[in-house]
Structure 1
Amino acid sequence: MEELAEEAGITVRTVRFYRERGLIPPPRREGRIAWYDDDHLARLRTIAALLERGHTLNGIADLATAFESGRDVGEVLGLGEPTEETPVRLSPGALADYFEGEVTAENLATALELGYLAKDGEEIVHISRNLLDASAALVREGIPLTAVMAASRRVRTHAEALAELFVEVLRTHTPQGEADRLRPLAKTIVAAELSMALDRLLRAPGDDR
């Protein structure tokens, strides 16, 4: 414990306190010797980073509980890695920076449930660079992360329905194995229709925003 505390730049008393609070996992024991490893050091550095960003110990404990109860990256990506979306690896501190104080236990649990986030050791993996950047941009514009994810949940329902429609059309009218090659055309149609729908709604009479 003394070696771990020295490496982390904190006191032994602080390490003991974090362990008692469940913020770091128990050490591996061999007789009377307690062994701490790089995972414990990474967790301590994560706690320090989150404290620097204004999180409380209670909040960090809630985040840890939500995160540990979520799916790991193997379970999420094991369903089939996205062919076009690029996963992003983040430290908990970097994730907190992305969303400027909006990373709460509730929001983290929702993101894990939706499959946007997964855990891989001490790292967090976001399933899509595009979704991560767009969501963070909306939060920076003042839209609460809870509202962004609520909208995303609804968008997913409609997106899956659109995908089913186009998959049926492509598989019905193209040779076997050709449907995937034509997916960019389906995406273009959906993007164009969404753009025109936004034009109609945002320019509707009475919209003074």
Structure 2
Amino acid sequence: MTASLSPVGDRAGSAPVPERYTIDGLARAVGMSPRNIRAHQARGLLAPPTRVGRTAYYTPAHVRRLESIKLLQRQGFNLVAIEAMLGVRRPTVTPAEPLTAALARLAAEHPSLVYTLARHGVLERDGNGAIRVARARVVQPALELRHAGVPVPAALALLAEVLDKLRVVAEELVRSTGTRMLSLRRTGPTATSWEQLDQETTALTRSLIGLLSEAFRVVAENSGEAAIAEFVAAPVALDLQIEDELTVDNG
């Protein structure tokens, strides 16, 4: 029977062999189901195992890779974003530049862009001075643009541009909506302690942020699909028109 984990140098006098896991042993080692492991492998996030006969074996490198994926998922990244961060290679698509490499290059070539994203709290520097993502939820949509052919640096530049524009609008909306929200409150006993005041302030702040965020999401969803369809269709229609005109002229 094959063990799930083969130690280095099983037999005395034999040459050391690499540590290896069966799919079940790997699943136990990383706390993940074999089904999820196979799914990561199918997406290209995990390298295929080595086969000996009819048995597939995984190595400690697979363990480290899966632990990295789990860590990124705990930080809020979805699998599409993780693919971009780890530089997953697909046979029919030009390999994507890993996010870590893209951020390092971005810091060297476009420091003002990194500064802008850091000012918005999207990027930050770790203890070693390396650039890392601080707000995964904001970065994920930008990373997903790579499936539409937009490189990571260009997508981050677009994100910075949007954040700068929205900041001006948001500051005005926060003031006007916050004032209006306070005026609509029912009259009643005011806070009698600093703790109650903090709780009331926190509740109002969360309500304001939630209201503005979801309202913007609704407006963007309502107008976004139609707008993108129009933008994409316009150059195609122009090309078809030119082709028709050339066909008529040649006829």
Q: Which has the higher relative contact order, 1 or 2, with Cα contacts under 8 A spaced 6 or more apart? A: 1
TM-score (norm 2): 0.38
Tell me the TM-score normalised to structure 1 length: 0.45
Q: Which structure's CA Rg is the greater one?
A: 2
